[in-house]
Structure 1
Amino acid sequence: MYEYFRGVVAVLHPDRVILEVGNIGYSISTSATSAMACKVGETVTFFTSLIVREDSMTLVGFSTEDELKVFRLLTTVSGIGAKVAIGALSGIHYLELTRMIILGDADGLMKAPGVGKKTAQRIVLELRDKFSKTLSALPEADGFSMPKNVGVVSDAIEAMIALGYRKSDVEKIISRIDSRDLTVEDVIRQALGLMAVL
């Protein structure tokens, strides 16, 4: 219904922005990441989603379309509503959150507020394939980099874990490999080569 709002930041909270558009103040629930990107008095654009419940309507929005896309996918997971999804995006930058899901890092997801072990495992189970297909083209920003050729990368990681290597070591090594146009076997071979010289 409302794709985006462009207006002046009137009031700023860690989890909410009041945006003045045409002399009307719209309260937009948001993540800490998007809130911190704003300053009172500046003109900004928030990409939004209207959450309609039986007893309430909540406007949720973010400073980028990509973060909104991640939010919408998170809320498709059973048991995760807007509040938990926003909390997760406030605790972990959306690019890093996406990387964790694609790599199956349930332990990393548990660092997000409101995300316990079962919820983290459910997020990985229900969203890993969706994120790999729809979000692998997200841009790199502020030190967060998306894995290249995510299907090959995840298969290579799983294979090396099965060989007895620690997941954290494998992810660190494979993140250094440009896996575009490589097969799973190629990635594993290069990873083993890098480990041999450490």
Structure 2
Amino acid sequence: MFHEQKERLMIGRLTGTLAHFRTDSIIIDVGGVGYLVHVSHTARNHLYAAHLNDPQARHTLFIETYVREDQFTLFGFLTEEEQTLFGLLTTVQGVGNKMALNLLGQMPPAQLAHAILAQDKASLQRAQGVGARLAERLCSELKNKIMHLEGIMHASPTTPTEPPAPPSKRTIKKAPTPSPIAPSIADDTIAALTQLGYDRSRAYEAAHKAMRNHEGAELSVEHLVKEALRLL
């Protein structure tokens, strides 16, 4: 039985014009050669809208290349953050390449990262094929890893993914040290916000932003809830 080999080959990035769109993939023309690249639903829609606006525009995709038996498969991403998150998702048992793309297609990378940090299993289960057990594994196995991804954690969860200018090297930066406010106070604040009707992802984001805004201060749950509500 063959197992998927996560072996990165020479293709790390492709830049060209968009030639064709399929349900879960696109063909990008690079110097007259068309490369079939699998992308998330979100990335496909983004590229399709850009193509309608300017069919001759050139686009850059960050590429992960996988080999399985005699198949040579390319997966494309608009940003390095999306590519990094894809790699992390596939380290979780039960998450293959297709499942990882389903998750990335359900919400932008920053929003997905915040959902995992907030233990928002309901949001994760909206992705096709993700059940309660898999959502639990995603949260428990990736929480600490995602917490240190600065590019993802500093992005707004609702900000659309925009392709940046390609950097010379792919790096993963560590995020700053979290606020010293007691975890129990943060958890109680998030719980209070969810009781007010906010979903866990938004509650988590607002609570931790309020904590960062008052780093070093001794705040009660009541004060943190008030500060978080101002941000929602």
Q: Which runs of 5+ in 2 are unaligned?
A: 1-9, 161-175
SS in 2 for 1:140: coil
Q: Distance between the aligned counterparts of 1:184 and 1:54, measured in 2?
A: 57
> How far is the alpha carbon of 1:88 from its aligned partner?
1.1
1:158 is aligned, of 187, 191, 196, to 187
Q: Which residue in the other structure is 1:86 paired with?
A: 101
> How far is the alpha carbon of 1:122 from its aligned partner?
0.3
Contact 1:71 1:85 in 2 (8 A): yes
Q: Which runs of 5+ in 1 are unaligned?
A: none
Pairing 1:67-146 to 2, within 5 Å after superposition: 67-135=82-150, 137-140=153-156, 142-143=158-159
| TM-score relative to the length of structure 1 | 0.80
Assess, with a 3 A threshold, how the Cα gap between structure 1 residues 9 and 196 changes in structure 2: closer, same or farther.
Answer: closer
Assess, with a 3 A threshold, how the Cα gap between structure 1 residues 7 and 157 changes in structure 2: closer, same or farther.
Answer: same
Q: Which residue in the other structure is 2:66 paired with?
A: 51
Contact 1:132 1:150 in 2 (8 A): no
| TM-score relative to the length of structure 2 | 0.70
> How far is the alpha carbon of 1:42 from its aligned partner?
2.6
**Is 2:26 the counterpart of 1:17?**
yes
**Partner amino acid, structure 2, of 1:68:** Q
Assess, with a 3 A threshold, how the Cα gap between structure 1 residues 121 and 152 changes in structure 2: closer, same or farther.
Answer: farther
Q: Distance between the aligned counterparts of 2:121 and 2:157, measured in 1?
A: 22
> How far is the alpha carbon of 1:187 from its aligned partner?
6.6
For residues 125-150 of structure 1, what are the alpha-carbon distances to aligned partners after superposition, in whole Å with 9 as ceiling and x for unaligned? 10000001124544226458xxx976
Contact 1:77 1:123 in 2 (8 A): yes
For residues 2-47 of structure 1, what are the alpha-carbon distances to aligned partners after superposition, in whole Å with 9 as ceiling and x for unaligned? 2210011000123111011111110000011111122154310000
Greater RCO, CA 8 A, separation 6+: 2
> How far is the alpha carbon of 1:54 from its aligned partner?
2.7
> How far is the alpha carbon of 1:111 from its aligned partner?
0.8
Q: Distance between the aligned counterparts of 2:159 and 2:217, measured in 1?
A: 25
> How far is the alpha carbon of 1:195 from its aligned partner?
8.7
SS in 2 for 1:46: strand
> How far is the alpha carbon of 1:192 from its aligned partner?
4.3
Assess, with a 3 A threshold, how the Cα gap between structure 1 residues 50 and 154 changes in structure 2: closer, same or farther.
Answer: farther
1:190 is aligned, of 219, 223, 230, to 223
Contact 2:124 2:130 in 1 (8 A): yes
> How far is the alpha carbon of 1:78 from its aligned partner?
1.1
Identity %: 27
Q: Distance between the aligned counterparts of 2:68 and 2:195, measured in 1?
A: 41
Contact 2:92 2:141 in 1 (8 A): yes
